[in-house]
Amino acid sequence: MNAHLRHRASAAYRDAAETIAPAQQIVMLYDGAIRCLREAEAAIADGAIERRHNNVAKAFAIVNALHCCLDFEKGGEVARSLDRFYAYVLHRMSRIDITNDASICRELVGLLGQMRQSWATIAEGVSQRPVDPAPPAPSRSIALTT
């Protein structure tokens, strides 16, 4: 990718981060991880090992980023619960490449789908609140207090 395209892509992500509510951003990240795990499952069925690995690696990176952004001071018990959840999901993802087991993909799609629905409900509640004309600057960490 040339420098001009990288700059445009970076600007687009920066604009999205400023205009999309954090809870909705999390929903979108879950959507990406789920999509990658479904692709990994399809790759297993097709015997496409490299494609499976690449999709698991993408899903792993997404969940790992969510895991790394937990704010234990502000998030309290919710952050600790999410910490355990993400650790389990990441462990199970590592098993996909070792075992080539599509059932793990299905398990994780189900778990991530449930969590995605919870975040979608939070995002809906946030989007229905009155809009503050001067919202605070976005934070780099995810505060898990709602």
**Domain CATH code at residue 108:** 1.20.120.340
Predicted local confidence at residue 8, as pLDDT: 64
Domain encompassing residue 115: 22-127
The encoded tokens of residue 54 equal 């690449």
Residue entry with tokens 């505060």: 143
**Structural domain tally of the chain?**
1
Residue 141 lies in a domain: no
For the chain, list residues with pLDDT below 70: 1-2, 4-18, 126-146
Does residue 73 sit in helix, strand or coil? helix
At 139, the amino acid letter reads S
Q: Is residue 144 part of a domain?
A: no
pLDDT digits (tens, 9 = 90+) for 12-22: 555 655 678 89
Pull the structure tokens for residue 143: 């505060």
Residue 36: per-residue pLDDT = 98
> Residue 140's pLDDT is what?
43
Q: Which residue has the tokens 């297993």?
A: 44
Predicted local distance difference test score (pLDDT) of residue 14: 59
